[in-house]
Amino acid sequence: MKITEAAAKQIVHSAKQSDALKMGLRIAARRMPDGGIDYAMGFDDKQDADSTYNKFGAQILIAPTSADLLARATLDYVTLDSGEREFVFLNPLDPNYSPPKQQD
């Protein structure tokens, strides 16, 4: 899984605000009945079977049950057209995925 620098910075910022600096951000994914992918994130303690990654200072935890669905995914932190900022998953394994449009 790829974590952009913008996403990692926001993860670290959120961990500081939540007093969760000693925890990792668990990212989970599951296949929905329509074939799409449902994502979840939250700070958690590492479990023995977890894969762990350190991306730009953010510790990421992924359980084996989510690993295949997240293998080609990218987590980014972007500004939406409305001006709000939020995390987005870009995952070519999701049938609802469409690549981001290039800015001119």
Residue 103 has a pLDDT of 56
Q: Provide long-range contacts, Cβ within 8 A and 24+ apart, for 32-35.
A: 35/95
Q: 51 lies in a domain?
A: yes
Q: What is the pTM of this model?
A: 0.87
Q: 84 lies in a domain?
A: yes
Q: 99 lies in a domain?
A: no
For position 28, which CATH number holds? 2.60.300.12
pLDDT digits (tens, 9 = 90+) for 4-33: 999 999 999 999 999 998 999 999 999 999
Q: 96 lies in a domain?
A: no
Q: 97 lies in a domain?
A: no
Structural domain harbouring 17: 2-90
Q: 49 lies in a domain?
A: yes
Please report how many Cα atoms fall inside a 13 Å half-sphere around the Cα of residue 11, on the Cβ side: 29
Q: How many domains does the chain have?
A: 1
Which residues have a Cβ under 8 Å from the Cβ of 97 and sit 6 or more positions away? 90, 91
Triad 21, 27, 31: Cα angle to 5°: 170
